[in-house]
Amino acid sequence: MIIIKTFVPTYFDKFRCIADKCPDTCCAGWEADLDGEIIEKYKTIDGELGERIKQSLAKDEADCDIFALCENGRCPFLNSCNLCDIQATHGEEFLSNTCSLFPRFFEDFGKIREMGLGFGCPEAARIMLEDDEPFSLCFYEECVDEVEDIDEDFLSVLIELRAEIFTVLEDGDLSFRNKIKSIFKLVTALQEEIDAEAYNGTRSEFKGFDECIEILEKMEYIRPERKDFVSSLKNEKLSKNALNLYRSDFEKLMKYYFFRYFLACGYDYDVVTPVKYGVFACIVISRIYAHFGNPDFEKRVKIMYSYSKEVEYSDVNMDLLDEALYRNFDIEDLINLI
């Protein structure tokens, strides 16, 4: 057995699923993977529910066990009250790992595990946007059978750099744009050390906001009306002032992106593209804020979780975003859009 340290943000334990009170649902639009252990548990359920389970089991394109969604895109066990029939009958222990974990996520980096809340859930987004304390982590130890190999020295560099980036984001004297410029300067310096050459990005012709929308238009969507809305922004000349008016929201969003994605650079040594993920999200979401004038807190929560749910929880969409930001968007393109 190997002892690892699991780090979580201090707000992590505030999350509780609000079930039927949620303004959205995580049980529609997605085909949740069913792990082998839960499949065996389902075999012990008899009666009408057991038969419904048997009839609903299917395989996805990767040959993973799933529940086939209904024609309206809802899980076959999501009832009219937006509650799970399986959980209501047999308790949380009969939920799949995917269902019980969401919106929590975890990533392993050698002997370090990090767990957090994803922005794709309304309640998680509300908790993170409400939290006004400086970002901090607490940890506990646990035992695992094995860990993945990682360059521990480089991982330490990433952890130290991320802490420095959080300090920049919490600097009340800098504008949001200058914070992003400072952060790009920090990660570019590290990328130049890694590559042993100057980092020049992918400079081509200047990219504007319309090109951001073109990326989003190529993505797959859970709710098609969200794609239609994004497309409607393409020709609008929206103010960039929302980034300063709601600076706290975007600073928290950037911290989330750094916490969720930055240490994964320890595996591919690309420390610039994950920063672009967060900046791209801020650019798009700030324009949506501006579109709605002065959105109240609940509207801003909805905008945040809607973007995250559509973009971050699709491997297809994240691969598309990664490729576009790596190859087509230079750092200066993104800074010019802030």
Cα gap 265→107, rounded to integer Å = 12
Cα gap 245→38, rounded to integer Å = 47
Would you state the pLDDT for residue 72? 87
> Is residue 237 scored above 80 in pLDDT?
no
Q: What is the pTM of this model?
A: 0.92
Average pLDDT estimate for 219-244: 86
Do residues 212 and 231 lie in contact, with contact meaning Cβ atoms separated by under 8 Å?
no
Q: Which of 14-23, 143-152, 191-200, 248-257 has maximum average pLDDT?
A: 248-257
Would you state the pLDDT for residue 248? 95
Cα gap 46→255, rounded to integer Å = 47
Q: How confident is the model at residue 174 (pLDDT cuts 50, 70, 90)?
A: very high
Q: What percent of the chain has pLDDT over 70?
A: 97
CA 281 to chain centre: 10
Task: Copy the structure tokens of residue 284.
Answer: 């798009």
> Is residue 241 scored above 90 in pLDDT?
no
> Is residue 202 scored above 60 in pLDDT?
no
Cα gap 130→120, rounded to integer Å = 15
Q: Which of 63-67, 144-148, 273-277 has maximum average pLDDT?
A: 273-277
What is the per-residue burial (b if ≥16 Cβ within 10 Å, else e) of 165-195?
A: bbebbeeeeeebbebbbebbebbbebbeeee
Return the minimum-mean-pLDDT range out of 35-44, 158-167, 211-220, 267-276. Answer: 35-44
Average pLDDT estimate for 75-104: 90
Task: Copy the structure tokens of residue 200.
Answer: 């020049």
